[in-house]
């Protein structure tokens, strides 16, 4: 199953508490909470290029499954991480105590990030 495509955010849960836990300033949290972000994913075998555009903010990450890559987090911090694939539709990684799971089901991507006891869930549909 290929992740390649463009996806528009449909819904999200626990945005504000999660962003506070990540250390984002309150004004950025308020600006970002109602913006429908667009995620563009390009998959070439085990190589991935993910671009998330939220208003004027663009977050780009490139990685190869099973290899250490530098990733930019939501707060702009750059960290090293290894992304693994479970089955043929799930990307899983651990970054600085946060677990990130991206699961593709048909035309829907569910991205769940867990930090401590806060789980932030985003659901996006292919456009």
- Class of residue 63 by CB neighbours under 10 A (exposed 0-12, middle 13-18, buried 19+): buried
Cα-trace Rg, the chain: 14
**Is the distance from CB of 77 to CB of 97 less than 8 angstroms?**
no
Q: Among 56-60, 64-68, 78-82, which is the least confidently predicted range?
A: 56-60
17-31: average pLDDT: 89
87-96 own/partner pairs: CB under 8 Å, 24+ apart: 88/1, 89/1, 91/3, 91/48, 91/65, 95/71
CA distances (Å), 37 to each of 1, 14, 45, 101, in order? 23, 16, 25, 18
- Cβ atoms within 10 Å of 66's Cβ, excluding its own: 10
Lowest mean pLDDT among 36-40, 52-56, 121-125: 52-56
pTM (2 d.p.)? 0.90
In this predicted structure, the answer to whether residue 46 has a pLDDT above a threshold of 80 is yes
Architecture of the CATH domain 5-126? Beta Barrel (2.40)
């Amino acid at each position: 199953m290929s992740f390649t495509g463009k996806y528009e955010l449909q819904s999200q849960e626990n945005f504000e508490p999660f962003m506070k836990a990540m250390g984002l300033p309150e004004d950025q949290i308020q600006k970002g909470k109602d913006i429908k972000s667009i995620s563009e994913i390009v998959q070439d075998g085990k190589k991935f290029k993910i671009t998330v555009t939220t208003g004027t903010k663009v977050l780009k990450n490139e990685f190869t499954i099973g290899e250490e890559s530098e990733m930019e987090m939501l707060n702009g911090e750059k960290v090293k991480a290894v992304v693994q694939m479970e089955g043929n539709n799930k990307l899983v990684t651990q970054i600085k105590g946060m677990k990130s799971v991206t699961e593709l089901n048909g035309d829907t991507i569910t991205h769940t990030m867990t930090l401590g006891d806060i789980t932030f869930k985003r659901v996006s549909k292919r456009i």
